Structure formats: C-alpha cells, structure tokens
Structure 1
Amino acid sequence: MTDTEVADWWGTAVSRIEPDHIELRGIPVRDLIATTGFGAVIWLMLRGSRPTGAQARLLEAALVAGVDHGPHAPSIAVARITATCGVGINNAMASAINTLGDSHGGAGQECVELLEEIVARSTVPVETAAAEVVAQWRARGVRYLPGFGHRFHTRDPRRDPLLALVDEAAAAGTVSGVFARAARAVETVLNRGRTTPVPMNVDGATAVVYAELGFPAPLARGLFVLSRSVGVLAHAWEEMGQGRRNKGPIPPAVRPTYLG
C-alpha cells in the first residue's frame, strides 16, 4: 500500500494528530483544556459538535448518577477481586468493565430501544403506545423490562433527581420531553393492579436523559461504561491500598455447598 492508501485506511474525523499539534473534532486541544468540562468533551468526541451548557449539564448529571453502586454490583466486586491478584490497576479496570453486558450494564441501551419504539408510535396517545409496546415485549418473553424495578432499592434514589432535571430541561426547550413521557407511561402500565410499585430505576432515568439528548441506544451502554469506570477505578485503588491478597468472592471461612 502507498502512504496515501495507508493514511486513508486509518482516516478519521475524530482527531488530527500531527507534530506539535492535536485537534479533537477540528478544535485544537489547547482551546479545550481548562475551558471545557469532561462531559462536554465526551459530547464533542461522540457527536462532532459542542453541546450547549444546558445539554452538557444534563449529560454530566446522568454520568454522575451511574458512577458507583458498591460491591453489590459485579463490576465493582470484580475490580476489587482483581486488584488483589498482583496485577496492575489497568487490569483491574479492564476485568471489571468486561463484566458490563446485557444483564449488568446493558439495561440503559435496552430501555432507550423500548422508549424509541413507544415514541415512534406518534399516531396514538403515549399511554396506548406504552401499553402496546410493553405487551409486545412481554410476548417475546421479556420478564423484567429494562429500566424499571430494582433488586436492592424500593425506589432508586437517583431516579427523581434525574427526572426533575429532564423536566426542567423540557420546560426550557433544551429537550422535547417525549421520552420522559414515554418512560412515565411505561411506569403507569407496569403498576396497574399492583400493590408493590415497580418504579423506574437509574437505568431508566439515564436512558431518558440519553434519548432526550439524541444519543443512539448503543451509546447509552457506552456512556454507562464511561460512568462506571470512575467507580471501578476508585474501588480498585482502595482495594490495592488495603493489602489483601487473592480476595475471593466469599470469605475464606465460608465453604460453598457441594452439589456433586
């Protein structure tokens, strides 16, 4: 291949790196340093444009909400276990991040997909659309709708602050509010005839934020990975400072039940 062919093979609009010069989406990095928040830079890198201040604040709120959920979360537990195995902090982070799949870390993406299906049915009232889409998901064998209910919290403490911010943003014209209405309609459908509520959780609330801000569903998962990486780093670093070796998922005195 010629040099031009190789350059074209690796062509990118994300960054331009040349001797003594770095641009991110066409903006010199020196113009971003100390002037642009990390959330705004994430937006710039993913979308190719700068967010407004209101958009950046809403994105950062969602990122903050997903940072940590303690060792109850497999990603955090794995970070701490790996950190005691004589590996570097990057290994601990990579091991933890690799646990973020459909069951742990993927609900935000799936919830955006759910909400998109509801919003696409714009010819019927949102309550009707929500009932129809929920019924279809149930018919496909989906037992737990992504973004609703929580095994630990009766009402996720991150839900209400995020939804309040979305409502404020909708009132100000920053977002449309259609995905928030769709999510609340799902919540209503799920709670009909129930004595124990199934409220929206953080995955649902962040899905609302990401959908309202125009991020495609797969990026809801990617953004959660970025967010949770902060908690993963903090827990791995703390564990490294505690001096344990070969920390297992259960205390050494506990013997797993033999089923053979």
Structure 2
Amino acid sequence: MSEPTVQDVADWWATAVSRVEPDVIELRGRPIQELIGTTSFVGVIWLLLRGALPTDGQQRLLEAALVSSVDHGPHAPSIAIARMAVTCGIGLNGAIASGVNTLGDVHGGAGEQCMELLAEVHRRGPDLDAATAAVVAEWRDRVRYLPGFGHRFHRVDPRRDPLLGLVRESVSAGVVDGAYLRAAEAVERNLAAGRTRPVPINVDGLTAVVYGELGFAPPLARGLFVLSRSVGILAHAWEEAGQGRRNKGPMPPSVLPKFLTT
C-alpha cells in the first residue's frame, strides 16, 4: 500500500458546507463577509443545512418554530440539569452540553417521531381519515403516548394557534404544500373522536408540521430542537451562575429523599 498523500487527507475531510483557507471563509460557496449584516442567523442555519438561502416565507416559518421551543421552565430536565451543572464549576459550555445531552427519545425526540408519524399518514392516503385511523392504531400498539399530541401541563399548548395560523397562511400563499398540516389535523380529529376533552397538537407536533412542510428530514427535527432549546439552556445556566449557589441539587437541602425499604 502506498503512503497517504496530502491529497488523500484533503479528500478525507472534503465538505460542501464550508471552505476555509488563508483569508477566505465561505459558507456553501458564499463569502462570510457578504452574509454578515445581510443574512439572519435563521437564514444561515437554512443555508448550512440546505445549501441555499431560504425565501422570506420559508425563513419566517423556520424562525417561528425555533422561537416556539426555546424554553419550558426549570422543571424541564434539560434546563434543570444545566442549572445544577453550572453550580458544579464546569462553566457555561459544560452546563449547556449537560442539558443538551438529555434531549433524547423521551425529552426532545417527539418532534422527530411526530414527523415520522405524519409522513406515514400522508403516504397511506388518499383517504386521509382512514389512513389516520390505521396509523394511529398501529402506533398505539407500539408506544404509550402518541408523539406530538396532548401535553402534561397545558390543556391547549399556547404555542398551538400561532404556529398553526402561520402554517395555514403559508399554505395559502404557496410557500408550502400543506401535506403535513393536513395529516396533523386528521390525527387531531381522530384523537378527539368520542371524547369530551380533545387531545390537541402540542409544540412538538407543530414544529414537526413546520419542519416537514419545509422539507427537512425527520432527524433534523431533533437537531433543530436542540439548537432552539440551547438558547433557553444558556439563559437559565447564566442566571443560575449569577446566584452564587454551589453544588445545587435537585431539591433544597431541607428536603430529604424518601428512603425505601427493600
């Protein structure tokens, strides 16, 4: 076997995302100096993930979804863990990483899962209600909670109506197709049938609709949620850092955990 060459190493790290050379920084072929001051942070997220800049309508929808997920209070595990972590002396970067690392299948993964659910409903068409009934029944055989619907704190998620309104406006304007929206509405109807209290779509389901309508792959729903929630994690960690606590635990020192006998 011949010795590796410089070209072999260059090919090993080949990327279309960015080009960085002496005096050159390009993102997807666009010089950074042309993006600074002219392109929003959300626009650059789209550019890096998709390879081109979004339209105004696409950017508006993506920004709305990112804003909707930034924070859900210190009782959210990702926030609570970040607040405890920063009191252990690991700094903001470690606290943010600690919080982000809790965003798994249960806390943080529902958007990705809901995208898969809605895509399955859409694929089963054209009778949307029949397709929904079949898909919901199959999912209920596998999971305890249907991802993206209902909320343990909110009877109706306060983020529901603004996001639904924006998606509906985008469908009317031709920005997006509406397939994920129609699937989500069909699931919501299915879950409400025969109940006195409906099971409305929540923020995970709503962002799944947005990301699906915008053409993102389901795994990116979780990645984008991580970007969004990192903002709240940072704010909470920074607030906690300013309060001067050391080794903050999940309960005040005056509250002792219950001892269980075996």
Under TM normalisation by the shorter chain, which class is it? over 0.9
C-alpha displacement at 1:7, in angstroms? 0.2
Matched, 1:13 2:16: yes
List gaps (5 residues or longer) in structure 2: none
* 1:36 corresponds to: 39
* 1:138 corresponds to: 140
Matches for 1:59-208 after TM superposition, within 5 Å? 59-122=62-125, 124-140=126-142, 142-208=143-209
What SS does the aligned partner of 1:22 have? strand
C-alpha displacement at 1:199, in angstroms? 0.7
Matched, 1:47 2:47: no
- Normalising by structure 2, report the TM-score: 0.97
C-alpha displacement at 1:217, in angstroms? 0.2
What SS does the aligned partner of 1:23 have? strand
List gaps (5 residues or longer) in structure 1: none
* 1:247 corresponds to: 248
* d(CA) in 2 for partners of 1:196, 1:73: 25
* d(CA) in 2 for partners of 1:197, 1:54: 31
Moved over 6 A (4+): none
Amino acid paired to 2:236: H
Residue range with higher mean Cα deviation, 187-196 or 60-69: 187-196
Task: Please provide the CA RMSD for this pair.
Answer: 0.7
Aligned length, in residue pairs: 258
* d(CA) in 2 for partners of 1:171, 1:162: 14
* d(CA) in 1 for partners of 2:156, 2:9: 53
C-alpha displacement at 1:22, in angstroms? 0.2
What SS does the aligned partner of 1:16 have? strand
C-alpha displacement at 1:186, in angstroms? 0.4
- Among the aligned pairs, what percent are the same residue? 68
* 1:257 corresponds to: 258
C-alpha displacement at 1:196, in angstroms? 2.1
Amino acid paired to 2:44: V
C-alpha displacement at 1:49, in angstroms? 1.1
Amino acid paired to 2:123: A
C-alpha displacement at 1:97, in angstroms? 0.2
* d(CA) in 1 for partners of 2:129, 2:96: 42
Amino acid paired to 2:7: T
- Normalising by structure 1, report the TM-score: 0.98
